[in-house]
A and B are shown apart, each in its own frame.
Chain A
């Protein structure tokens, strides 16, 4: 095994041609995946992924190399590659050992690597069996279980030294309902920055039942209306909208490249005063929580928008360095194969004062979104789109019929500024957020909110 002396030697090599910052990120990740479909445990996959990435930042430019070869010789080789690409600049390594204090903690009651594979397989069976028992019309069920134990070691030229272990566990259920020629699906996913205790009590069954019931009810959904109308997004719908409508636009890399509609707007009003947006990595057990980000900066709670006024962006080391400030602990990477970039952790709109039922009652006609699917944003102009997995018409303040095929399109700043009701509830959803080809675990949340006007796209 390599020791700190070896790592410092590798850092020295990486900075031998100069550079402002050098870093080694070493990772050892064990994963387990189980999938069940067609009433069979189809696959059990286990894997070990080890590797290291060496990074040099020189004059704001990034040089990055990685390898699976974790011998001193292998690390020296990638360090040399990085060094030979760098320019002549200052470059020095600080040899002290500084371990920043964490603000969040990880609580793991049952480590997944201490749980027998039979118990994991059992969770999958329980979800499968429950989903299938919900209704005759459920014709197919796919269940996926996954756990990850990721050990990271981070050392940089500023003397930072962090070792961390992250444990994440998740379960997804996708059910297919068929009636005549109509085929519909229902999807549910749950996961946490936690261990196998995620599956306490009837959790797998409840998740499976929800997914199956949605698939069946969607069989008889009417086509969604089209055009502009008021939209109420229920808290249980998750936070895809906040993630797309403003989250990405508040990531400092996009802001600094002027690729965000929120660039240069710190201190300005960018949303309705009912809107406060927070990114908080320190929440206990949430899917996007972390103790340290992937640069060794402690995860923190960052107020992005307060009462409609833009407070701050999400920073990683490089973007913070560009502005001579501290990182907000949002420097994340999918693995040792990737350089860190600013990413969200757990992002949410803070609860407001309205009673969720009142919000629906006070909406004459519109769409109620009970479950959101995926989304996407063009941060350059702020246009975003997200899918409605479960939506209902609102007629005369009452929840009416279920509709399918709705996609909502809007413009982030415009939508945030017209939000006119914010509920006193809060609901979370998990996801894997993709950016620059890197997927990271996140969660998003929001209270029930009303947007007076949004474009609903369906079939005419």
Chain B
């Protein structure tokens, strides 16, 4: 399928929708290609190649918004989807805040998110990349003996959007990455370790660093023991800190706030975290995996400071929630795919790095747990902010790693956790669209 094709499809869809009685209409079409190669014991375990296209249409009739999608792009199926969206619109509750954005005054910026080398690099080279990751993990320590998964992945995608207010926009992007989960064994015990990298260009990937990271994480957990219940300092490595950031992000959505489901509701201008904490959402971030010229409804991407010096500065908005609050959309109308409507979501969201090194944060701890793995993160409650998760990591005694620890839980509330942060390291690391540096909390309950 050609670039012009999906741009034509969205324009035609909008024309048809207007003829069928829409007061406003929008069509969103994507075309993507993906590749993933999974390696085990230097052989291709699974190779997967995909091409995926689809269209989503939003129809507004008298303040009522209906939606339908189709992955069949024949003109018959497209018409059927539009008719269904029109019918759905008639059954939805009306809301005067439902409307579509107009084209932005300054147009859209180009963020150079498409590296043609990702598609052009021969498959053989990508397979070799994944093999190299596995080799490097095994070479790190001979106790690394099982590959749970070791993969190279890439994707290139095209996005076309049109609406009846005159938006007609298009962009293409690509990314590539790799991840490895390996198992180290010793005396009948097995421990796994994980590493991942995702970049906007193929040259940015480092198989050696990735393989070693996964291996090192597995090895250092060997011999993990239980500990007794106590209060102690807790350090979250960037991956775990990013997981915890994930609990708080729904609370930053204006939609959650407006529905009374956010623990940050009504707290604009108030202190919600330690003064060391700054949280940013940036859809324009250079080389960000979720950087794009515009969001899922055609609003230009921007950088939004959400928390500065511990004070809540802004919520995330799409066009609907912005209208309801009488503010401007922050460009956070996010579509996970053509199958969904643009909901308030994040672009590249991260906790800003601090000044001190990770080593420094650890060396200052008298007694505490450096957390490297967490289980049951999805059970945290984003509405109340309560979490209780299984963790494992390394026990710190007098500023040094003493002993791997597993089978313990930590519990608390996100707000208390954010307020208790007393150290932010300078090692911001991104995991696709979310990132955080190493964080330290002075004291938490650790149950064993």
- Give A residues with C-beta under 8 Å from B: 37-38, 40-51, 61-70, 78, 81-82, 85, 117-118, 121, 139-140, 176, 178, 183-185, 224, 226-227, 257-259, 261, 337, 339, 373-378, 380-381, 383-387, 404-407, 409, 411, 455-460
Contact = CB atoms under 8 A, between A and B. Distances in A.
Nearest to A436: B149
Given A46-B85, A49-B70, A380-B191, 12 more contacts: A44-B66, A46-B68, A46-B69, A49-B71, A64-B46, A68-B53, A121-B91, A185-B381, A258-B146, A376-B390, A380-B192, A383-B406
Given A62-B46, A82-B49, A375-B379, A380 B91 contact: no
B411 A459 contact: yes
Contacts of B258: 38
B148 A68 contact: no
Interface in B30-71: 40, 43-54, 65-71
B375 A176 contact: no
Contacts of A387: 376, 379, 388
9 contacts: A40-B93, A44-B67, A46-B67, A48-B77, A65-B48, A85-B44, A185-B384, A376-B390, A381-B406
A339 B68 CA distance: 27
Contacts of B3: none
B379 A373 contact: yes
B379 A386 contact: yes
A44 B47 CA distance: 37
Residues of B contacting A: mostly = strand
Contact of B51 (A64, A68, A458): A68
Nearest to B1: A69
Contacts of B65: 43
A397 B161 CA distance: 63
B410 interface: yes
A51 B77 CA distance: 14
Given A381-B189, A383-B406, A455-B447, A409 B390 contact: yes
A407 B73 CA distance: 47
With most chain B CB atoms within 10 A of its CB, the pick from A45, A224, A337, A404 is A45
A38 B92 CA distance: 13
B146 A374 contact: no
B39 to A, nearest CB: 10
Top 4 A-B pairs, shortest CB-CB distance: A457-B409, A385-B390, A460-B445, A407-B388
B240 interface: no
Contact of B375 (A44, A69, A385, A460): A385
Contacts of A40: 93, 95
Nearest to B406: A383
A75 B289 CA distance: 31
B95 A41 contact: no
A179 B230 CA distance: 31
Nearest to A389: B379
Residues of A contacting B: mostly = strand
Interface of B: 40, 43-54, 65-73, 77, 80-81, 84-85, 87-89, 91-93, 95, 123, 146, 148, 183, 189-192, 229-231, 258-261, 263, 339-341, 375-379, 381, 383-384, 386, 388-390, 392, 406-412, 445, 447-448
A384 B407 CA distance: 9
Contacts of B231: 460
Contacts of A42: 92-93
Contacts of A85: 44, 47, 49, 123
With most chain B CB atoms within 10 A of its CB, the pick from A47, A62, A224 is A47
Contacts of B230: 460
Given A41-B92, A387-B388, A458-B447, A63 B47 contact: yes
Contacts of A178: 260
Contacts, number: 224
B47 A43 contact: no
Nearest to B93: A40
B447 A227 contact: yes
A227 B447 CA distance: 6
A120 to B, nearest CB: 9
A385 B389 contact: yes
A358 B205 CA distance: 60
A13 to B, nearest CB: 14
A46 B49 contact: no
Contacts of A67: 50-52
Contacts of A383: 375, 390, 392, 406-407
Contact of A65 (B49, B77, B80, B410): B49
A81 B148 CA distance: 26
A234 B411 CA distance: 23
A386 B445 CA distance: 18
A406 B376 contact: no
Contact of A45 (B49, B73, B88): B88
Contact of B47 (A64, A258, A261, A377): A64
Contacts of B341: 43, 45
A183 B384 contact: yes
Contacts of B43: 61
A78 B406 CA distance: 45
A331 to B, nearest CB: 14
A231 to B, nearest CB: 14
B170 to A, nearest CB: 19
A457 B447 CA distance: 5
B59 to A, nearest CB: 11
Contacts of A176: 260-261, 383
With most chain B CB atoms within 10 A of its CB, the pick from A41, A381, A456 is A381
Contact of B378 (A43, A339, A376): A376
A64 B447 contact: no
Contact of A117 (B49, B51, B88, B190): B88
A136 B381 CA distance: 22
Given A68-B72, A380-B190, A407-B411, A458 B388 contact: yes
A380 B183 contact: yes
Contact of A50 (B40, B45, B71, B447): B71
Nearest to A183: B384
Contacts of B89: 44
A220 B88 CA distance: 41
Contacts of A47: 68-70, 81, 339
B82 to A, nearest CB: 11
A45 B390 contact: no
A184 B43 CA distance: 50
B34 to A, nearest CB: 9
Nearest to B72: A50
Contact of B45 (A62, A373, A458, A459): A62
A393 to B, nearest CB: 16
A48 B445 contact: no
B407 A409 contact: yes
B72 A457 contact: no
B67 A457 contact: no
Given A140-B260, A176-B383, A385-B375, A61 B44 contact: yes
B45 to A, nearest CB: 6
Contacts of A385: 375-376, 379, 389-390, 409
A377 B378 CA distance: 12
Given A456-B447, A457-B409, A139 B260 contact: yes
